Structure 1
Amino acid sequence: MSDARRVVLATRNDHKVVELREILGDVCAELGLEIVGASEWPDAPDVTEDEVTFEGNARLKAEALARHTGLPALADDSGLAVDVLGGAPGIFSARWSGRHGDDRANLNLLLAQLADVKDEHRAAGFVCAAVLALPDGTVRSAAGHFRGTLAREPRGENGFGYDPILVVEGDTRTAAELTPAEKNAISHRGKAFRAMEPHLRELLG
């Protein structure tokens, strides 16, 4: 497939590339697009995510990758927003414990902070902002939300990050107890990227 029909995803995480190919499978088949990961460009710059919103950080990553590769680029930024904490950890979700990407430490710290919070006040949700950036500077964005309540201990093996403690709204399982197909159908990332489909048709159709 030629570069003209490739869309690069701003991640070097192969699991995330597979997940997005599944979420956008129908529209990619319709438009003849191929989702590829940033790992195909080892010299692509690492972007400092210093904006104060999910959309701002996603836009930084998408625009940088579009400039570097000359291809349309997709990026997302997401995190957990806890109601009783005023929306925190929010954009700091991945480094809540002080070390970026230490899922277990982040999760344990959050559970400790909420230990005395009653069950009826443990509402929370994942938030995802997705951004499509073209090399000519055109940008489109979309958002998705995934609500639930916070369990008191982790359950499930299928997720990552805070998935094991978010009990899905209307269900008794955590996000980490859902199958990948179930999660993609209702997750914040699934909703955000499905909301991106009209923009893909508009700009890449």
Structure 2
Amino acid sequence: MRYNIIFATHNEGKVKEVKMILNDKKFAVKSLKEANINQEVVEDGKTFEENAIKKAKEFMETTGTIVMADDSGLEIDYLNKKPGVYSARYGGEDTPYHIKNQMILEELKGIPEDKRTARFVSVIATAFPNGDILTTRGTIEGIIGFEAKGNGGFGYDPIFYVPELERTTAEMTLEQKNAISHRGKALEKMKEKLFDYLK
């Protein structure tokens, strides 16, 4: 049996990542755009888990089908884990990411490398029509670079530097990024949970 899953995002970059990882005959993944859904959900949770669950539940109630949602963001230790759950709204919701990235680089101006530690966090929630909810979490550790580098990825990728690979996540191919990324890890865990749940 093939299960239809709606991934609740308007972010095409995320949809591409999700389809690549959940590329399995068991699942048919559609974005909100592909499912013709224009609904928005207010992300007012205090944690990534709260936001992901809220999105998955609300879209599941609207569509009556399995819905997967994520909430993800960047935590910078020097900035007390900001922007965190406010990553998408940091500096204003409609502020382009190249400006958000510049803002963060300015905030960390003169701060040495050992104090620029950061991580990307992703929480995936899957809501089922029977009311069940599954969640998984993935993280990737790195540092905030001293300048934006790379044209791949999206969001904060150009300033997030992974020392082991000596490049930012925006300098990686999608395959490289999916293999180590926070969302990639959370999705792989979710894929395992789904196989168990849907046996």
TM range (shorter): over 0.9
Equivalent position of 1:18 in the other structure: 16
Q: Which runs of 5+ in 2 are unaligned?
A: none
After TM superposition, list the pairs within 5 Å mapping 1:1-205 onto structure 2: 5-25=3-23, 28-29=24-25, 32-100=26-94, 102-205=96-199
Deviation at 1:43, TM superposition (A): 4.4
| Misfit runs of 4+, over 6 Å | none
Output the TM-score relative to the length of structure 1.
0.91
CA RMSD, aligned part only? 1.6
Contact 1:44 1:68 (8 Å CA) reproduced: no
The count of corresponding residues between Structure 1 and Structure 2 is: 199
Output the TM-score relative to the length of structure 2.
0.94
CA distance in 1, matches of 2:92, 2:10: 22
Larger helix share, 1 or 2: 1
CA distance in 2, matches of 1:146, 1:55: 17
Identity, in percent, stands at: 37
Amino acid in structure 2 at the alignment position of 1:130: I
CA distance in 1, matches of 2:37, 2:124: 23
CA distance in 1, matches of 2:142, 2:84: 15
